Structure 1
């Protein structure tokens, strides 16, 4: 499937890609064949660039294929369909910047207000890219701290970035409220589907070489979740080397590369980590009013 890309940059220099230490995030994108990348000057007064791709849709009924006008059926389906909102924070792909990726079908605009909200946190959006694959638009921001010019490493700030983007999504796309866990507290419509935290929570530790292990966590999303997970891991004296924090609607799917004293976790320590995370994640105590 062809992929159309658009890039926009500020006065900051372009960032390099290399492996880094610390809390990191690895974006998962489907393989595609990129087309030409076109630089665009981004101005607040200008409308966002939009991409679209036509689809051939075949409808069936008791009267035969396409018995009802396909255009009207497509319109009715699109009018009711709300895409899955996804927010992904990546600290691992770039040595100089924190990468934040946001997608919400093809409904995202220029996101000028989102960039302003990030700057209000003391951050600088040094570069950004917009990619459209099929009917899904994916926007990436390359973020650094204004005071140091370096990537964000504080878990509290990373969680503030995540919640700031989600709050802006709820504000400018209120239809996303029913798809997001935060919609119940901050949106106009609470999600109709309620996740059972006990059932939704899955924790696994897998081998990933001799020097680190891969920790996979899937649980019901809630404010402060990232900070909570990092604290639980730190309380067992386990180091987080890199990670991928992926918020998909009501669910958080996180991957962490972890180690203990420079080595992979043994079986006993892995079981301790899994038990602690399962216990605390199934008993949410985060105060949502603090975010």
Structure 2
């Protein structure tokens, strides 16, 4: 009796293992095929829909059907495991999950000063991954500069929290126009970022300037510096500058521009890690810069930015 039963059990178990292996391979191939349509930042707990067979259940292989209107893939940075999800099958909203990251991962610190988007206020946008707090100390430091934070907004884009502060002068209620004050705003915010998030100093040029921790890798100024002047209508031109960041950079740039008798109408000052990426709307006597004047401006800025130790009057 037992001699006739044992082979059947082995056959059933072998069929089960073969079926599960084949189904898993099919699902994996489906997931890779889906990846050609779209990639989404989402995490799931696992496949979780492989059919299970009991040891002696009749063998019936059915096609696996599921919605694939929004296929998604997510990879773990620590394990080579592929997770796939589709709508209705273990799908989880991406904002409620995070990617696995190394313990020493430090997000990119970004401070953006926008003078164009709002006619009544200077907008300062600050992001440092999802590590920013309420920024109460930062707003207090801005108030000590004679400024008022009229309102603020917080938005989450992926895993990055972006905070916007709308700043005006306490005495006039108007936006900040003084380049020196704009630079003080920038340095005050970065200083507070370094104070409460000292790990950011490794990615900020100000880390060394404020005596926190110098970046391990420094930019080659000659390679990092790019200056361009583009058309922006008949009455103004767009000056784009990208260079290695340092304290006082904004004031120095505007002084060089002013020395050539070029007017700065508005600016966007972007501090992204070790790099400063600034945009200025400039004009000359109420008109856009011609080709010759644009070249003079570019040459002066390149000469000065690539040699920060050079006396500004020497060009």
TM-score (norm 1): 0.73
CA positional deviation for 1:212: 1.2
Task: Note if 1:256 corresponds to 2:280.
Answer: yes
Deviations 1:92-123 (A, max 9, x none): 11111111000000000000000000001111
**Structure-1 separation of matches of 2:134 and 2:270:** 22
Higher helix share: 2
Superposed CA RMSD in Å reads: 17.5
Q: Which has the higher contact order (CA 8 A, sep 6+)?
A: 1
Gaps of 5+ in 2: 1-24
- Give 4+ residue runs of structure 1 displaced > 4 Å after superposition: 1-57, 59-76, 286-291
Contact 1:7 1:39 in 2 (8 A): no
Structure 1 residue runs of 5 or longer lacking an equivalent are none
Distance 1:120 1:275, change over 3 A: same
Q: 1:206 to 1:45 in 2, by over 3 A?
A: closer
Moved more, 48-57 or 232-241: 48-57
Deviation of 1:169 (Å): 0.3
Choose between structure 1 and 2: higher strand proportion: 1
In the aligned structure 2, how far is the partner of 1:31 from the partner of 1:2? 22
1:202-241 CA-partner distances (Å, limit 9, x unpaired): 1011112221111110000000000001100000001111
Residue range with higher mean Cα deviation, 61-70 or 207-216: 61-70
Deviations 1:190-213 (A, max 9, x none): 111111111111101111222111
* Residue correspondences, number: 291
**1: distance between equivalents of 2:313 and 2:34?**
34
Single out whichever of 257-266 and 186-195 deviates more from structure 2.
186-195
Post-superposition Cα deviations, 1:53-101, rounded to whole Å, max 9, x if no partner, equal: 9999848999999999999998872422100000000111111111100
Question: 2:268, 2:48 → 1: CA distance?
Answer: 6
Larger radius of gyration: 2
Seen in structure 2, the aligned counterparts of structure 1 residues 183 and 58 have a Cα distance that, compared at 3 Å, is farther
Correspondence for 1:62: 86
Q: 1:192/1:60 Cα in 2 relative to 1: closer, same or farther (>3 Å)?
A: farther
